[in-house]
Amino acid sequence: MCHCGVKEWRSQQMQAKYAMRNMELAAAIVFTGCSPMQIIRFLQNAGICCFCERTFHRLQALYLLPAVDQVWKKQQVALMEAVKASGTGAKLAGDSRADSPGHCAKFGTYSLLDTTLNKIVDVKLVEAGGHVFLNRRTGASIQHAKSFDVYSCALSKH
């Protein structure tokens, strides 16, 4: 109770200085791939109290993206151990995505798949365009593959 006789009431638990339901809502927005602006606007128009876009981006940067990165790194370690434990060596396939039809992208993603486990073992964001793109993605693949034996490796060139 406050010194003036007013009780403090909270509708949800707090973590650090953020309300936990706000964290859960921000996580739902990030993990579903929805547009934060559209969801926030929808909730406001429905008369549902919600955080602002700035708070969403703060929660995303401070908590959600670091959590995703941490889980991804743990899964990569587990995948590398599975490849090493198989004893047969990795069978890798790599491919890139730089832009969609009608769009021109400066950056693209390069994914490396273990075809035996059918799991992505690495993803890199690289600058698109010409030989630089090919060299960077091939370099990333080779650098990543050094941590285990590679039986075969097929990389696309487009």
Give the start-to-end residue ranges of the domains of the chain: 14-68, 87-155
Tens digit of pLDDT per residue, the chain (158 long)? 556 676 665 677 777 777 888 899 999 999 999 999 999 999 999 999 889 999 999 999 999 999 999 999 999 888 888 877 877 777 788 877 776 656 666 777 778 888 888 888 888 877 766 544 445 544 444 555 556 666 666 666 55
pLDDT of residue 54: 94
pLDDT of residue 68: 93
pLDDT of residue 107: 75
Query: SS3 string of the chain?
Result: CCCCCCCCCCCCCEECCEEHHHHHHHHHHHHHCCCHHHHHHHHHHCCCCCCCHHHHHHHHHHHHHHHHHHHHHHHHHHHHHHHHHHCCCEEEEEEEECCCCCCCCCEEEEEEEECCCCEEEEEEEEECCHHHHHHHHHHHHHHHHCCCCEEEEEECCC
pLDDT of residue 55: 92
The reply to whether the predicted model has a pTM over 0.85 is: no
